[in-house]
Structure 1
Amino acid sequence: MLLHLRQVLKPDELSLARSLLAQGEWMDGAATAGGQALQSKNNQQLRQASVASQQLRTLVLEALNRHAQFFSAALPKKIFNPLFNRYSGESNYYGNHVDGAVMHSRADGQRVRSDVSCTLFLAEPHEYDGGELEVSDTYGSQRIKLPAGDMVLYPSTSVHQVRPVTRGARVASFFWVESMVRSDEQRRLLYEMDMSLMALRAEQGESETTVRLTGTYHNLLRMWADT
């Protein structure tokens, strides 16, 4: 499931994030790349130990914790600590790759299985040319370039790349989610059912039908979830 989440960051949070990023300490992104990625990763990454990075991580995690649609879509069990990258100048692309299956966080030491990959855009589309996130799956390739503060979720099993930035700077946060429901297909079904239930509840309130369907949703989640 590839999903666009709107306004994950509020305007004041986005403004603070951009201010912190402008003061950030950037390093070669290849320093954190694995074997496959090392050959194709050409960007910059905010130093994890920096004060700016720590403040930004807290900001993003707090935003995720209140975002009901993110919870419904990802059903998070663990969230890898958010990281931040920049594509500009000579460090301007990340070629085709698949994310590693298990990510080891240097910030808190935990290991997170990558079920869902997330990119939270922190630069406006008009501020840079190129830089689209291109995700390839069974339905073909999709190119994504979202407003600042918006986020895209997609399966970590997908081949993807960041296309070359030819003007300006593309800045984003990226991280992974280990979901309570490992199967992308099952997560999609639960998400679609949850969204339909919300619409039905808005139309009918807590009718007998919504109560029964809500029970079905939770029974499926109980069957599939691993906490």
Structure 2
Amino acid sequence: MMMHLAEVLDKATVADFRAQLEAADWVDGRQTVGAQGARVKQNQQLDVRSPIAMALGQRVLSALAQHPLYFSAALPKRVVPPLFNRYEGGEQYGFHVDGSVRHEADGALLRTDLSCTLFLAEPNEYEGGELVVHDTYGQHEVKLPAGDLILYPSSSVHAVMPVTRGARVASFFWLQSMIRDDARRVQLFELDQTIQRLRTRIGDDAEVLHLTNLYHNLLRQWAEV
């Protein structure tokens, strides 16, 4: 499931992020990928140990935790600290697959179930730079307003198209969900959203309570915590 989360960051916050990122030191993005990715990756990133990257990353996660759809769609268990990248002057990231497991700084392993891209440049600031994701329903091109985020399965083959004008600036990261299987995660999301709509319309009557019980029993059965 691909999910568009609108207005994770408001425009004032995006402007503050951009001002700090403009003053930051960028490094070759190939330093953070394996051999396969390095052959097709051309971009710039903030060093993961950069104080700016760490501070802004925490602000991204704090804002995302307040978004009404995030928890329901992702059911997150662990999240990789957000990273930041920039594409300009023809830079791109050819079709690739994200690694299935990441080694974290504390030595823990994290399974990458979902990938996140938070756009920090407006679509009219740059040409190209579309995130292209392949899934069972075909190919999808994503280019969102600044402050919006796309959430998609990390199992998807994907790419960032060449940026031919301006600069594409974004934050990106991965998370491990409590629900490993994407199809089950979609079912739980749709059930939860149905419950929320019914509760708004008719309150907590017996049928809504029954569906809520069903949701939590399925989550209890499927969750890895």
Bin for the TM-score computed over the shorter chain: over 0.9
For residues 11 and 125 of structure 1, what CA distance do their matches in structure 2 show? 14
* Letter paired with 1:102: V
Where does the alignment leave 5 or more consecutive residues of structure 1 unmatched? Answer: none
Cα deviation, 1:78-135, whole Å, max 9, x if unaligned, reads 0001000000015x100000100011234x5543110001000000000000000000
For residues 161 and 155 of structure 1, what CA distance do their matches in structure 2 show? 13
Percent of matched pairs sharing the same residue: 53
Conservation of the 8 A alpha-carbon contact between 2:30 and 2:42: yes
Q: Does 1:32 align with 2:32?
A: yes
For residues 126 and 15 of structure 2, what CA distance do their matches in structure 1 show? 18
Conservation of the 8 A alpha-carbon contact between 2:30 and 2:38: yes
The aligned residue for residue 96 of structure 1 is 95
Match of 1:211 among 194, 209, 212: 209
- Number of aligned residues: 225
Conservation of the 8 A alpha-carbon contact between 1:13 and 1:59: no
Matches within 5 A, 1:13-28: 13-28=13-28
Conservation of the 8 A alpha-carbon contact between 1:129 and 1:168: yes
The aligned residue for residue 104 of structure 2 is 105
Conservation of the 8 A alpha-carbon contact between 2:80 and 2:174: yes
1:11 Cα deviation after fit: 2.7
The aligned residue for residue 157 of structure 1 is 155
For residues 181 and 150 of structure 2, what CA distance do their matches in structure 1 show? 18
The aligned residue for residue 175 of structure 1 is 173
Conservation of the 8 A alpha-carbon contact between 2:103 and 2:109: yes
- SS, match of residue 68 in structure 1: coil
Cα deviation, 1:54-89, whole Å, max 9, x if unaligned, reads 211111111122223111111000000100000001
| Greater mean alpha carbon deviation, residues 59-68 or residues 174-183 | 59-68
Q: Under a length normalisation based on structure 1, what TM-score does the superposition of the two structures give? A: 0.96
Cα deviation, 1:195-221, whole Å, max 9, x if unaligned, reads 111111111011111110011010100
Conservation of the 8 A alpha-carbon contact between 2:27 and 2:47: yes
For residues 152 and 114 of structure 2, what CA distance do their matches in structure 1 show? 6
Cα deviation, 1:10-55, whole Å, max 9, x if unaligned, reads 2332222111111111000011111210111110001122221121
* Letter paired with 1:99: D
Match of 1:121 among 108, 116, 119: 119
| Greater mean alpha carbon deviation, residues 152-161 or residues 10-19 | 10-19
- Provide runs of 4+ in structure 1 moved above 6 Å: none
For residues 110 and 78 of structure 1, what CA distance do their matches in structure 2 show? 10
Matches within 5 A, 1:76-95: 76-90=76-90, 92-95=91-94
* Letter paired with 1:189: Q
